[in-house]
Every structure is written in C-alpha cells, then in structure tokens.
Amino acid sequence: MIWGALSWDYKSPLVFLEKLPERKGICSKAYLQQVLQPIIFPLFDDLGPEYIFMEDGSKVYKGHAKLPRLQHNIRGFNWPPSSPDLNPIEKV
C-alpha cells in the first residue's frame, strides 16, 4: 500500500507501507506507526485544530489508528469508500 497526502500548499512524502511481521497485510497498527506518528501528528500539531484530515473508507484507517487520531484532536469525517471521483488525490 502506498500512502500520500496533499493540501493547497503541502505535499507529503510517499510512504510505502510495510506489513508488520505477525500480519498478513497492512493493518491499522502499521498505518499508525508508519504514517500517523511520524508524519500526520507532527503536521497537525503545527497546523492546529481548524484543519480536517480526509481519509477514504479503508478499514486500515480504523482500529488502532482511530483513538490516537482523536487524542491528537485531528478532525475528520466519514468518507464514502470506493469513490475516486470525490477523492482529490486520485487525480494526482
């Protein structure tokens, strides 16, 4: 799985997520360790609470990743799964 983020004046590095040794594929714990903790949490600490973090409906973004996101006051909203026409990064 490859992860990336963009905004009006920001472009994140691409992250090639690696599965954890005890898992069959990418899980929310890997997403937390490889994306949220090193990239998103520091970014939103600088940006502040007025920004919204948009994710698609993948199961990877739930589970172990959901509570730490809420603890860092990162707002989001329910995004419909499988909707590439509504997802701006799909155009990139």
Taking residues 55-76, what's their average pLDDT? 84
Kindly tell me if the per-residue pLDDT of 65 is higher than 80.
yes
Dig out the tokens for 16 from the structure. 């090639």
Task: Residue 28: count other Cβ atoms within 10 Å of its Cβ.
Answer: 18
Backbone φ and ψ for 31, nearest 5 degrees, come out as -60, -45
Q: Mean of the per-residue pLDDT values for the chain?
A: 84
- Statement: residue 70 has pLDDT above 90: no
pLDDT score recorded for residue 86 = 63
pLDDT at 56: 76
pLDDT at 39: 94
Contacts of 90 (CB under 8 A, 6+ apart): 84
User: From CA 78, how far away is CA 55, in angstroms rounded?
Assistant: 8
**Better-predicted residue by pLDDT, 64 or 37:** 37
Is 80 exceeded by the pLDDT of residue 40?
Answer: yes
